[in-house]
Structure 1
Amino acid sequence: MDERDIYRAKEAMQSAMKEGPMRLAVIIGAILIGFLFFHPWAMVGPGERGIVLNFGAVGKDVLGEGLHFRIPIMQKVVLMDVKVQKTGTDAASASADLQDVSSAVALNYHIIPDKANIVYQTLGIEFKERIIDPAIQEVMKAVSAKYSAEELITKRAAVSDSIKEALAERLLAYNIAVDAFSIVSFSFSKIFTEAIESKQTAEQLALKAKRDLDRIKIEAEQKVTAATAEAESLRLQRVSITPDLIELRKIEANLKAIDKWNGILPQVTGSGAVPFISTGEIERR
């Protein structure tokens, strides 16, 4: 091997050493690009559950909150919201006495977290219009038919509890839990509303008349009681007046007169059989 061959070998070694780090960087870059492109992880946020799909088929596992890895191409993770949801709707029904009832109601519900994969498999993600709203309509009709229109108002809390229980039982079959239910308002026909107002007015007038009658009765009883007491007092006074008491009162009167006498006798003038007594002095005194 001459010097020329040695020089060529040396250059080849140096070239290989220079290309090695570049080749390694290219390989690492390709791996990173592939990692980012295939996205082999899934992030499940608060109030969510991850549904694992294996080549499109729903798996048995439900992923909780946090970071999870998946097999690219083979697996896909779909997120399901399991937080409490609220829906409001208007329901039309009829009462037991065949009155038309329009109700505005509100429902709070959530997907049972451990059953999120079944909900996704059987209902999908957009199930409110297909499951929740029809259930509310049917339950409102069934429960309203058990109460009269007046009872729907006077027993509103009981009606609301009955609807909540019926909805909870119905939606549990779909792995949906009911958190709260409330009746926002009831609306009836104009004729029925006017009849209710007339009845309330009549009841108020009847109550006022009863209060007035009770007051008059009490006042009459008070007058009777006072008259009875006065009559009894007079009776006792009559019973207590005896001849001895009358004589005693006369003596007391005479004693009072003596106490008031100043010791001056009345003046007598004239010599006839009928004397004249001057009372002027007495009157002046």
Structure 2
Amino acid sequence: MSTEIPFKEKKNPAPRIIGWSVVAVLAAVVAFNSFTVVDYGHVGIRKTLGKMSSETLKEGLHLKVPFVQTIIPVNVQVTKSEAEAAAASRDLQITHTNIAVNYRVDAAGAYKLYNNVGPDYANRIVSPAIQEVLKSVTSKFTAEELIQKRDTVAVEVKEGLAARLGNYQLIVTDISIVNFEFADAFNASIEAKQIASQKAMQAENDLKRVEIEAKQKVAQAQAEAEALRLKKQEVTSELIQLKQIEVQEKALEKWDGKLPTVTGGATPFIDLNSISPSSSSSTAAQAAPKATQAPAATTQP
């Protein structure tokens, strides 16, 4: 009698391996979706089945319910927004203004901003606010004042934007008015006015210079007159005599011991060389007979 051993069929391990692999992948996916990381400079808003939570998540690692909750990152760093607006000044001059606004999202109010406005707040809120505030402030100043009082204009624009954007949890940190552009006719009038002002200033400076020079001349003349007056007070008869003696002494020092041959003055000029000894003796002889004859004539009867 023969005995038969029944054949046991071996099971295929492939389905089991696939099953465990699927389970492992699902577990990994679930584990991966069970946490999230909020980057630096951002906050997170938890969203559960389409509903936002008012809780704000800070930077770092956070847990969440997989496939049920999502974390929306919100940038709270300073953001720059540039805009160009055309507005009319108080004197009805059309001006084109380029402005740059730096702002950031208030971390505590990020939930309200995204819940009421959404992620496109820059185009829906910031740009229109810049246009409106800039036009409102520009209308308070004349065209010249916009140029001369740029800092005042910037302060008012910043205050207006801070009040308007603050309602949407946006904080204005700084603004810069890059440029004011006006019509060509207004630019020409400003240039002409500046030229006229410079000429007037130059004329005023020239007038001041002439006045200063005139005062200097008067002061110099007064000083010279005062010096002359003081000198006159110092001149006395004794001083005059002393000066005459000094002049005579200097003349004697220069004299060579010879008398001048020609003299002049109140009397006629006489040439002393022309008077020789012979001529003088003959003149004396002629004078002698006349002297002797005169007494003889007197003695006749």
What TM-score, normalized by structure 1, do the two folds share?
0.81
Say which one has the larger Rg. 2
- Identify if the C-alpha distance between structure 1 residues 35 and 95 changes in structure 2 by more than 3 Å, giving closer, same or farther: farther
CA distance in 1 between counterparts of 2:28 and 2:74 reads: 24
List runs of 5+ in structure 2 lacking aligned partners: 262-271, 282-301
CA distance in 1 between counterparts of 2:44 and 2:201 reads: 64
Query: 2:139 is aligned with what amino acid?
Result: A
* 2:123 maps to 1:133: no
235-244 or 220-229: which moved more?
A: 235-244
How many residue pairs match? The answer is 264
Task: Give the secondary structure class of the aligned counterpart of 1:72.
Answer: coil
CA distance in 1 between counterparts of 2:260 and 2:88 reads: 108
Q: Deviation string for 1:40-80 (max 9, x for gaps)?
A: 33232222222211110111222222232321232122222
CA distance in 1 between counterparts of 2:87 and 2:24 reads: 62
* 2:194 maps to 1:211: no
CA distance in 1 between counterparts of 2:260 and 2:140 reads: 106
The CA deviation at 1:139 is 0.9
* 2:243 maps to 1:249: yes
2:167 alignment counterpart: 173
The CA deviation at 1:241 is 3.4
CA distance in 2 between counterparts of 1:84 and 1:29 reads: 46
Query: 1:149 is aligned with what amino acid?
Result: A
2:105 alignment counterpart: 111
Q: Of 194, 215, 219, which aligns to 1:225?
A: 219
2:190 alignment counterpart: 196
Alignment root-mean-square deviation, CA: 2.7
CA distance in 1 between counterparts of 2:50 and 2:38 reads: 19
Give the 5 Å matches for 1:1-285: 23=16, 26=18, 28-37=20-29, 39-263=33-257, 270-271=276-277, 272=280
The CA deviation at 1:31 is 2.8
Identical columns (%):
38
What TM-score, normalized by structure 2, do the two folds share?
0.77
Query: 1:103 is aligned with what amino acid?
Result: T
1:280 alignment counterpart: none
- Identify if the C-alpha distance between structure 1 residues 266 and 222 changes in structure 2 by more than 3 Å, giving closer, same or farther: closer
230-239 or 109-118: which moved more?
A: 230-239
CA distance in 2 between counterparts of 1:212 and 1:84 reads: 54
